[in-house]
Amino acid sequence: MSANSIGKLGRPSSYTKTKADKICEDIANGMSLAAVCRQDGMPAPKNVRVWLKNNPDFLSNYALARAEQADHFADEIIAIADDSSKDIIQTENGPKVNHDHINRDRLRIDTRKWKASKMRPEKYGAKLQVDHKVNYEAMSNQELLKRLEQLCKNMGMTMPKHYRIERETT
């Protein structure tokens, strides 16, 4: 028997487009891959990663689902922040602020913000981009040092001593 007649070694893949689409749908709706894979009839996370390597269409759809998941987390942040229904509890002594619930919501929001910022940094990241163009080649050394001093001052920094401008005395 030749190697070609034996076929591929190992267990056959359980990949189906239906399963792949369900995985992408659940991911886009905020579920983790581990949670998706715990559902009946779903593959192990390790198998999903193999499917991603072997199926370019699934990889593309999965990447879109992850981007949608970041948007889902952003939507959840608003819903969590707007829901104050459990912020006050009734006790024998009257209403009381439920600090445990408020702190838990803060954690839920911070976790979703962090996750969204890592999944879609271009949309949810904390990157600060400053677009400011100055033609430094046309400036004298004295003008450059003055500009550096002003930038340091604007940022609340002290200009390093070895760059300080020596004031001209006239």
- Same domain assignment for residues 109 and 157: no
Residue 91 and residue 158 share a domain: no
Range of the domain at 83: 14-124
pTM above 0.75, yes or no: no
Q: Please tell me the total number of residues recorded for the chain in this structure.
A: 170
Please give the tally of structural domains in the chain. Answer: 2
Q: Per the domain annotation, does 77 fall within a domain?
A: yes
Tell me what pLDDT residue 147 has: 81
Same domain for 118 and 72: yes
Question: So what's the pLDDT on residue 168?
Answer: 52
* Cα–Cα distance measured from residue 91 to residue 164, given in angstroms and rounded to the nearest whole number: 63
Structural domain includes residue 26 = yes
Q: Are 155 and 135 in contact (CB under 8 A)?
A: no
Nearest to 26 by CA among 15, 45, 39, 44: 39
Dist CA 143 CA 37 (whole Å)? 62
Residue 8 domain flag: no
- Same domain, residue pair 120 and 135: no
User: What does each of the 170 residues of the chain score in pLDDT, given as a tens digit?
Assistant: 444 545 555 556 689 999 999 999 999 999 999 999 999 999 999 999 999 999 999 999 999 999 999 999 999 999 999 999 999 999 999 999 999 999 999 999 999 999 999 999 888 888 666 666 767 777 888 888 888 888 877 777 777 777 666 655 54
**Residues 135, 103: Cα–Cα separation, whole Å:** 49
- 143 and 118 in one domain? no
Q: Are residues 120 and 160 in the same domain?
A: no
